[in-house]
Amino acid sequence: MVDYLKKQDDIVHALRTVFVHNIWDFIPMTYQKTRDFEGGLALAEYLTNEITLQRKRISKEEFERWDSELVYFKLNMLESLNRWKDYIEYFELCRHQKNYNTPYGSVGEPTDEYHDYITHSDKEFHYVHFLFQQSGQYESVKKKFDKWRSGKKVGNLMRHQQDRLSDEEIQQKLQFITGLLDNELARLKRYGVPQNHMKMKSGN
């Protein structure tokens, strides 16, 4: 995927194809299902660098949405690689440096569930940090890391890696995802998506 994107004449157009037209969901799914976590991590880091380089060409809304998706993607790859310390450090770095938020819950309602993630409030809503969506996974990773650090056995908590899948299993998973992607591309085409947006199909 990284090699494919590097060959594109206009990286911003390619990024908009991926993120705007609902293709993005299939990309993390592919790396997760095939357990190509190292490849997924490399892609997340490459795309994060690219959107930063191209920031003047994209809107603030696009940048924040794409960056949020890439943070989620990278966190999931780090967790899947059992790199718990790196996960925790990256989560906490993003929580302090990336202040994206969304309205979550009306003012006056109990906030126990998300109180620590509230960035500000207005007369109607509380606004929570985008990483609230990952807070459950963050707490789970911290528990696993603390258990490992205390010298307890954590083998049963480790994620299986790609070497536990056969080549046939990997191909079956890829075919399944490709089928879902083909259906989505056909749906997008049916509803009038420009033909040049369909080029990403060959790069997945």
- How many whole angstroms separate alpha carbon 49 and alpha carbon 165? 31
What is the tens place of the pLDDT at every residue in 193-202?
Answer: 544 443 333 3
Q: Look up tokens 């992607």; give the residue.
A: 181
Residue 61, pLDDT above cutoff 90: yes
The strand pair at 101-106 and 118-121 is best described as: unpaired
Q: Are 101 and 130 in contact (CB under 8 A)?
A: yes
Q: Which residue has the higher pLDDT, 142 or 4?
A: 142
The CB-based long-range contact list for 89-95 (8 Å cut-off, 24+ gap) reads: 91/131, 91/134, 91/138, 91/141, 94/131, 95/129, 95/131
| Among the listed residues 101, 47, 102, the one whose alpha carbon sits nearest the alpha carbon of residue 74 | 47
Instruction: For the chain, state the CA radius of gyration.
Output: 19
Non-local CB neighbours of 165 within 8 Å, separated by 6+ positions: 34, 35, 173
Distance CA 135, CA 114 (A): 9
pLDDT single digits (tens) 143-171: 999 999 999 999 899 999 988 889 899 89
Q: Which pLDDT band, with edges at 50, 70 and 90, does 7 fall under?
A: confident
pLDDT tens profile 171-180: 998 888 888 7
- Contact indicator for 101, 119 with CB cutoff of 8 Å: yes
Given CA atoms 138, 141, 143, 148 in this order, what sign does their dihedral have?
A: negative
